[in-house]
Amino acid sequence: MMQDAPDSAKAEWRRYGVVPIAAAIGYSTMAIQTYAIGPFVTPLEQEFGWSRAQVMIGLTICNSLGVLLNFAVGMLADRLGPRRVALAGVVLNAGGIALLSSATGTLSNWMLLWGLVAVGMVLAQANVWASAVASRFDKGRGLALAVMLSGSSFCAAIAPLLATGLIGAYGWRTAFAGLGTIWMLGAFPIVFLFFRGRQDEHRRLRSRDERIADLADLPGVSVREGLRMGAFWRLLVAAFAYAFYTMAISPSLVPLMAEKGESAASAARIASLMGVTGIVARISAGFLLDHFSARKLGTAVFILPVVGCGLMLLDAPGYLVLILAVVSFGITLGAEYDVVFYLVSRHFGLKAFASLMGVLLTAGALGGAVAPVIAGWIHDRSGSYDPLLVFLMALMAAGALAIATMGRPRQSWGASH
């Protein structure tokens, strides 16, 4: 029987297949607050008499801290190794969720508790997990990153149901404590036992013998070198465009389709296709990245929303046309982060991967922060979502152009084992 070549994708999965799976479980931790807070809104409003904005202020704290610290956390992962940073993120994030059960009813206490959650969320960001996964995979890197990134989709499917069930059975305080504890018990042992990148192994070797410290140097450019490269700034444009588009279209989709003549129930059903399509697109894109040009695939993924927004601009698009538009949105939402992470690893290597991704995540956080406000302002001024659709078409076309003109990587940055 023929054996797989030692550098083949199958060989990588056989040797390190547990790493992206452990990373996916760990990465799911950073999304708990995003997908689980919804069921807690009404109980907290009733308990403390808070407004909805006060209940949701924690998410604002998380996003704001991400803008400030994503780059710093990336540098920390590059220097200390992703495993230590990830473990701290799991403990602080899940522990912070559990401690929300101790809320006293004062806004200052609520914000302080969310500050702990926010620190944990930033430490468990995608660039930390992806840096270890990318260091283990070369031929199968696209699929491995896709599996890791699917952790947030796993959380989106599980967290709301779990939170709702716990609140109904035990009340909101026990639900917060239970949610954090369940995730801690589920994620921490798996991450502790199975999540380790090449960076972490090199740290252990270095501590044993300083003479082999040079082994710690992963292939790739430094942060300063990466920031000077035109390809990085093109990715920065793409990351901002993608995040802005995502946070503009996602909350606007149902009312947009209602303006186009769909009932609220019909619009909600069509909008739900975006999430399902996104999950399928994420894994599919990961597979395709290992077999086709990432630059061409990324360009195509950015062009799809241009087509989708164009379909939405029709006066009476109809049910099937709206479905096509939403599916195009879902493909981009699911596939684009796969492409960006993959392109960073190929163009800049692994030496400063987490740091450079931290910069891109910061650009994305800024785009995501301003998008809902600008989208609402455009609608208020025009009385329609059509101008927003035109703006998003132009923005995503600019992102597609940025990806298309990146050129080829200057050299191959493989993940030698």
CATH assignment of the domain containing 299: 1.20.1250.20
Domain termination site, one of 189, 216, 243: 216
pLDDT of 1 higher than 70: no
Average pLDDT over residues 1-9: 58
Q: How many structural domains comprise the chain?
A: 2
Long-range CB contact pairs, 204-210, < 8 A, 24+: none
Residue ranges making up the domain that contains 207: 16-216
Contact call for residues 39 and 160 (beta carbons, < 8 A): yes
- Give the H or E element holding residue 388: helix 386-404
Block residue for tokens 């972490």? 200
- Residue 249 counted as domain residue: yes
Q: Based on the domain organization, do 67 and 104 belong to the same domain?
A: yes
* pTM for this predicted structure: 0.82
- All residues at 6 or more sequence positions from 195 whose CB lies less than 8 Å from its CB, including other chains: 19, 22, 23, 26, 82, 83, 86, 129, 132
Q: Higher confidence at residue 34 or residue 196? A: 196
pLDDT of 329 higher than 60: yes
Q: Based on the domain organization, do 207 and 252 belong to the same domain?
A: no
- Residue 11 counted as domain residue: no
Domain termination site, one of 176, 201, 216: 216
Report residue 342 CA to chain centroid gap.
13
Q: Based on the domain organization, do 301 and 359 belong to the same domain?
A: yes
Q: Based on the domain organization, do 227 and 322 belong to the same domain?
A: yes
List phi, psi (to 5°) of 222. Answer: -80, 170
Contact call for residues 33 and 89 (beta carbons, < 8 A): no
Whole-number Å distance between alpha carbons of 392 and 375: 10
Q: Higher confidence at residue 145 or residue 202? A: 145
pLDDT at 368 (0 to 100): 81
Q: Based on the domain organization, do 208 and 228 belong to the same domain?
A: no
Rounded percentage of the chain residues whose pLDDT exceeds 70: 93
Q: What is the pLDDT of residues 267-301, one digit of tens each?
A: 878 877 777 788 888 889 999 999 889 999 999 99
Q: Based on the domain organization, do 303 and 281 belong to the same domain?
A: yes
- Residue 385 counted as domain residue: yes
pLDDT of 218 higher than 80: no
- Residue 35 counted as domain residue: yes
- Residue 69 counted as domain residue: yes
Closest listed residue to residue 305, CA positions, set 336, 341, 343, 276: 336
- 104-118, 161-175, 332-346: segment of lowest average pLDDT: 332-346
pLDDT of 166 higher than 90: yes
- Residue 243 counted as domain residue: yes
Whole-number Å distance between alpha carbons of 201 and 279: 32
Domain termination site, one of 192, 216, 240: 216
For every residue of 161-208, DSSP letters joined together read HHHHHHHHHH-HHHHHHHHHHHHHHHHHHHHHHH---HHHHHHHHHHH
- Residue 415 counted as domain residue: no
pLDDT at 211 (0 to 100): 41
Q: Based on the domain organization, do 188 and 330 belong to the same domain?
A: no
Q: Higher confidence at residue 215 or residue 290? A: 290
Q: Based on the domain organization, do 141 and 80 belong to the same domain?
A: yes
List phi, psi (to 5°) of 51. Answer: -80, 165
Mean pLDDT of the chain: 87
Q: Based on the domain organization, do 317 and 374 belong to the same domain?
A: yes
Whole-number Å distance between alpha carbons of 164 and 171: 10
Q: Based on the domain organization, do 368 and 231 belong to the same domain?
A: yes
- Residue 410 counted as domain residue: no
Q: Based on the domain organization, do 202 and 298 belong to the same domain?
A: no
Q: Based on the domain organization, do 268 and 288 belong to the same domain?
A: yes
